[in-house]
Amino acid sequence: MPEATMDKIVALAKRRGFVFPSSEIYGGLNSCWDYGPFGVELKKNIQEFWWRSMTLRPDVVGLDASILMHPKVWEASGHVENFTDPLVDCRQCKARFREDEIPPEKMAKRQCPNCGNKDTLTEARRFNLMFKTFMGPVEEDASVVYLRPETAQGIYVNYLNVQTTTRLKVPFGIAQVGKAFRNEITPGNFIFRTREFEQMEMQFFVKPGEDGKWFEYWRNQRMEYYQKLGIRPEKLRFHPHEKDELAHYAKEACDVQYEFPFGWQELEGIHNRTDFDLKRHQEYSGKSLLYFDDATNEKYLPFIIETSAGLNRTMLTVLVDAYWEDTAHERVVLKLHPRLAPIKAVICPLVKKDGLAEIAEKITEDLRWHFPVLYDQQGGIGKRYYRQDEIGTPYGITVDYQTKEDQTVTLRDRDTLDQIRLPYTALAQEIEKRLRSA
Ligand code: GAP
C-alpha cells in the first residue's frame, strides 16, 4: 500500500481546506499555519474528545487561565533559567541549528549540515525559547511579560482556588486547553513543531507516596485514549525517559510516541513532577500552597502527575494515520474515526433537475439538526464522493429517481463502499446508530 508522505499530507490538507500557510498572499510566515473550514472542525473534535475524556470524570475539572502571567511565574517554574536550547550558527551560509540535532560526526568536525563546509560552526550559546513582549505603553525591562510556553503553570498557580471552590479532595485533576508559544530554533514538519501551538494538559494532584501508582495509571489511560481516537496501535509506543533525559522538574517520565513519516516522535509527555512546581511557587510568591486533608488533619504539598499533549500534533497524527490510498478504486480516503470526521454525511442529488435537488436539500436541512452535513450537487456523483472521501466524510446519501417513487435513498459507507437503501426518514437514526457504535 502506498505510504503517507508529508508532501501528500500537506497537499491534501491545503487542497481540501484543512490547513493553509499563514499569510499566504504575502509569501507565508515560517512555520505558521491557518486552519481552514475542515481543519478547524477536526481540531475542535479532537479537543472535545480530549476534554470529555478528562472532565466527564468526577475527579477532574476544567480551567482556562490567561496566556499572559506574572513574570515571576516563569522565574519560579525555571523557564527563565532553564528553558533554553543550544543554538549553533554556520558562519558561511548563516543557517541555524540546535546543537543536539547535529549528527555527532559533523559536530566533531564543526561541519555545517546545510552547506557542508567544515570548521564553520560557532560554539553553542543558550537561547531562551520564551517569546517576550511588553505590558503597557512603555517598552522597558520592568514591563516585560512572556507569552506562556506551556499551559501547565496557569493550573499550578490556581490549584488552591480550584480546590477550595470545588471542594475536591486529593487525588484530583485540573484540565486545560490553550495556546502556548515557543521561539523554536528548528520548527518544521508542517504542524508538528511550530512556534504557536495548542496544548491539552491535565495536572493530577496526588498524595506524596501515591505518585508512582498514579503515574502508571495515567500512562496507561493516555495510550488507551489514542487508540479510542482510532490511531493504529502498532504506530504507537511508549518511550520511557532515561535518568539523563529527565526534565529538571521530573522524577519519572514517559512519552507516547507515534511513527510519523519522519520517524518515531513524541506526541505527549507524562511526567511525575513531584512537588517541584508547588514548592517553587510557594517560595517565589511567599504564599502557602499547602493542601489540608481534613480526613487525616495532615497538611502537605501534593505531588503532580502531568499529562501534556499537543493538539496540533495530535491532528497531524490523525491525518497521517487516516491517510489511505485505495488503489483498487483509485481514490484517496481519510479514514478518520467517524467521531472525528468534520462532516458526518454528504447529501447528493443524482441530477439537479426533476425535483431531485429539492428533495436532497430538504433532507440536508432535516439532518443538519442531528450532525454536521454537506449538500453537494456539483459534478458527477463519483467525483462528489471522491471529494468527500478526501475530507473523511463517513457517509454519502444519494437521492435518485426511485426516491420520488418510494421516498428511499442510498446510504454509502466511505471505507467499505457498501450501499444500502432505506427510507430517508430513517437516515438520522441509522447514521446516529453507526456513529455511536463506531
Ligand atoms: N507542561 C509540559 C510540557 O509543556 P512538552 O513536552 O514541552 O511538555 C508537551 O510539551 C506537548 O506539547 C508535546 O508532547 C507536544 O505534543 C506539544 N508541543 C510542544 N512543543 C510544541 C511545538 N513547538 N509545536 C507543536 N506542539 C508542541
pLDDT classification of 248: cutoffs 50, 70, 90: confident
The pLDDT of 336-360, averaged and rounded, is 96
Ligand 1 pocket member 85 (CB < 6 A): no
Give 198 Cα–ligand 1 centroid separation in angstroms: 8
Q: pLDDT exceeding 90 applies to what percent of the chain?
A: 96
The pLDDT of 241-248, averaged and rounded, is 92
pLDDT classification of 169: cutoffs 50, 70, 90: very high
d(CA 230, CA 306) in angstroms, rounded, equals 23
Under DSSP, is residue 424 helix (H, G, I), strand (E, B) or coil? Answer: helix
The pLDDT of 40-62, averaged and rounded, is 98
The pLDDT of 343-372, averaged and rounded, is 97
Range of weakest confidence among 18-22, 141-145, 338-342 = 141-145
Ligand 1 pocket member 198 (CB < 6 A): no
Q: pLDDT exceeding 70 applies to what percent of the chain?
A: 100
The model's pTM is 0.95
The architecture of the domain spanning 343-437 is: 3-Layer(aba) Sandwich (3.40)
User: 282 pLDDT exceeds 80?
Assistant: yes
356-365 b/e (C-beta count within 10 Å ≥ 16 → b):
bbebbeebbe
d(CA 240, CA 422) in angstroms, rounded, equals 51
Q: Encode pLDDT of 11-27 as tens digits.
A: 999 999 999 999 999 99
Ligand 1 pocket member 79 (CB < 6 A): no
d(CA 204, CA 222) in angstroms, rounded, equals 13
Ligand 1 pocket member 337 (CB < 6 A): no
Q: Do domains 6-68+150-320 and 343-437 have the same CATH topology?
A: no
In DSSP notation, 298-343 reads EEEPPEEEEEEEEHHHHHHHHHHHHEEEEGGGTEEEE---TTT-S-
Cα dihedral sign for 425, 426, 427, 428?
positive
User: 232 pLDDT exceeds 90?
Assistant: yes
Give 316 Cα–ligand 1 centroid separation in angstroms: 14
DSSP H or E segment with residue 15: helix 6-15
**Residue with the nearest Cα to atom 19 of ligand 1?**
310
Give 149 Cα–ligand 1 centroid separation in angstroms: 9
Predicted pLDDT of residue 362? 97
Helix, strand, coil share of the chain (percent; to 5): 35, 30, 35
Ligand 1 pocket member 266 (CB < 6 A): yes
Ligand 1 pocket member 269 (CB < 6 A): yes
User: 1 pLDDT exceeds 80?
Assistant: no
d(CA 114, CA 215) in angstroms, rounded, equals 41
Looking at domain 6-68+150-320, its CATH superfamily turns out to be Bira Bifunctional Protein; Domain 2 (3.30.930.10)
Q: Is there a contact between 305 and 211 (Cβ–Cβ < 8 Å)?
A: yes
Q: Which class for 371: exposed (0-12), middle (13-18), buried (19 or more C-beta within 10 A)? A: middle
User: For 107, what's the count of Cα atoms within 13 Å in the CB-facing half-sphere?
Assistant: 13
Ligand 1 pocket member 102 (CB < 6 A): no
Query: Which among 375, 378, 363 is positioned nearest to 422, based on CA atoms?
Result: 363
For ligand 1, what atom is nearest to the CA of residue 308? 9
Q: How many CB atoms lie within 10 A of CB 28?
A: 13
**Residue with the nearest Cα to atom 24 of ligand 1?**
193
Predicted pLDDT of residue 7? 97
**Residue with the nearest Cα to atom 6 of ligand 1?**
269
Alpha helices in 181-262 (DSSP H): 211-228
| Amino acid letter for position 266 | E
Predicted pLDDT of residue 139? 86
Predicted pLDDT of residue 2? 81
Q: Encode pLDDT of 194-223 as tens digits.
A: 999 999 999 999 999 999 999 999 999 999
Query: Which among 49, 393, 395 is positioned nearest to 229, based on CA atoms?
Result: 49
Cα dihedral sign for 223, 246, 174, 176?
negative
Give 177 Cα–ligand 1 centroid separation in angstroms: 12
For ligand 1, what atom is nearest to the CA of residue 150? 4
Domain boundaries, the chain: 6-68+150-320, 343-437
Cβ contacts of 165 within 8 Å, gap of 6 or more: none
The pLDDT of 124-148, averaged and rounded, is 92
d(CA 341, CA 162) in angstroms, rounded, equals 34
User: 400 pLDDT exceeds 90?
Assistant: yes
Q: Is there a contact between 21 and 33 (Cβ–Cβ < 8 Å)?
A: yes
Predicted pLDDT of residue 370? 97
Give 293 Cα–ligand 1 centroid separation in angstroms: 33
Predicted pLDDT of residue 438? 85
User: 406 pLDDT exceeds 90?
Assistant: yes
| Amino acid letter for position 193 | R
Predicted pLDDT of residue 278? 98
User: 377 pLDDT exceeds 80?
Assistant: yes
The pLDDT of 316-323, averaged and rounded, is 98
Mean pLDDT of the chain: 96
Give 113 Cα–ligand 1 centroid separation in angstroms: 25
Q: How many CB atoms lie within 10 A of CB 237?
A: 13
Give 196 Cα–ligand 1 centroid separation in angstroms: 11
The pLDDT of 155-167, averaged and rounded, is 97
The pLDDT of 147-174, averaged and rounded, is 98
